[in-house]
């Protein structure tokens, strides 16, 4: 097994979140992209405004690294129209994968029809352009019962509206890594939450994002059935060391 083909190397901080200038933060993004190219990771996951930069660097290096970006990140509470507009721009800029933050607060309020419409519209846009689509459910904001419900809702909606050949290209993803939890509780993937997702997502694949800090933890997730792992410490994990980063 090539662990690097499971790793989505991730940097999603804005300049202000990183306490850097825009120029300094762009340099950090460039370093992440270069590392992903050099290490041959599956994918580099960055903010939408950095997709063009990644495409230029990857083409210049003649690399196979995929480009992923996040849509309506990190809150997921914009309108469907706004999400589609942001996603279309990312597609135009040659993103390969689109990670939509689902409107999990609307889901918690019981607005199931809205969530179904969002799933269908976002998946249709991505799949029609031959892109992989991931729906971030933000497990730290949900109860176990809600994790089961929203995972099953995504699965059942995709099965009802799309062909089987598309299923492998629609993921359920655990976390943004930016959710603020109380009492320093985990805000990313944990083994119990990933098991709940895996039990209710099949045949859709699962991505574990946030909280995976060692190679052994990554291997445990993969053995459970996870197909992708999002981490800002991809090289550290691939090298068998312990990451200090939260995501």
pLDDT digits (tens, 9 = 90+) for 6-18: 999 999 999 999 9
**What pLDDT shows up at residue 245?**
67
* Whether CATH 3.20.20.70 fits 3-238: yes
5 falls in which pLDDT band (50, 70, 90)? Answer: very high
Both structure tokens of 192: 């119990």
Show me where the domains of the chain are located.
3-238
Q: Which of 99, 134, 155, 235 is catalytic?
A: 99
4 counts as catalytic: no
Both structure tokens of 194: 């990933």
207 counts as catalytic: yes
Q: Which of 13, 42, 155, 173 is catalytic?
A: 173
246 falls in which pLDDT band (50, 70, 90)? Answer: low
27 counts as catalytic: no
- 3-class SS at 67? strand
pLDDT digits (tens, 9 = 90+) for 99-151: 999 999 999 999 999 999 999 999 999 999 999 999 999 999 999 999 999 99
* Integer CA distances (angstroms), 184 to 123, 176, 188, 229, 231, in order: 33, 16, 11, 22, 19
Q: Angle at the Cα of 222 (from 5 to 162), degrees rounded to 5?
A: 80
Q: What is the mean pLDDT of residues 170-196?
A: 89
CA 59 – CA 167 distance, rounded (Å): 28
27 falls in which pLDDT band (50, 70, 90)? Answer: very high
Both structure tokens of 57: 């660097």
pLDDT digits (tens, 9 = 90+) for 65-98: 999 999 999 999 999 999 999 999 999 999 999 9
**What pLDDT shows up at residue 220?**
95
pLDDT digits (tens, 9 = 90+) for 140-150: 999 999 999 99
Q: Which residues pair with 70 in a beta bridge?
A: 99
Q: Peptide bond preceding 24: is omega within 30 degrees of 0, i.e. cis?
A: no
Q: Which of 13, 42, 207, 235 is catalytic?
A: 207
């Amino acid at each position: 097994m090539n662990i690097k083909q499971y790793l989505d190397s991730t940097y999603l901080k804005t300049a202000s979140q990183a306490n850097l200038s825009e120029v300094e933060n762009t340099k950090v993004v460039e370093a992440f992209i270069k590392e992903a190219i050099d290490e041959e990771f599956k994918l580099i996951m960055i903010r939408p405004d950095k997709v063009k930069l990644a495409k230029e660097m990857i083409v210049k290096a003649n690399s196979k690294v995929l480009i992923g970006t996040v849509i309506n990140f990190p809150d997921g509470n914009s309108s469907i129209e706004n999400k589609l507009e942001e996603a279309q721009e990312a597609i135009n800029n040659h993103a390969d994968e689109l990670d939509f933050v689902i409107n999990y607060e609307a889901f918690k309020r019981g607005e199931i029809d809205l969530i179904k419409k969002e799933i269908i519209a976002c998946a249709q846009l991505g799949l029609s352009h031959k892109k992989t689509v991931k729906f971030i459910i933000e497990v730290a904001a949900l109860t176990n019962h809600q994790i089961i419900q929203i995972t099953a809702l995504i699965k059942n909606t995709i099965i009802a509206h799309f062909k089987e050949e598309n299923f492998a290209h629609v993921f359920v993803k655990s976390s943004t890594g930016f959710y603020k939890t109380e009492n320093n509780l985990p805000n990313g993937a944990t083994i119990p939450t990933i098991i709940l997702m895996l039990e209710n997502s099949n045949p859709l694949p699962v991505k574990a994002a946030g909280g995976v800090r060692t190679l052994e933890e990554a291997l445990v997730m993969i053995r459970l059935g996870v197909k992708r792992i999002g981490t800002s410490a991809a090289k550290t994990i691939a090298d068998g060391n312990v990451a200090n980063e939260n995501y």
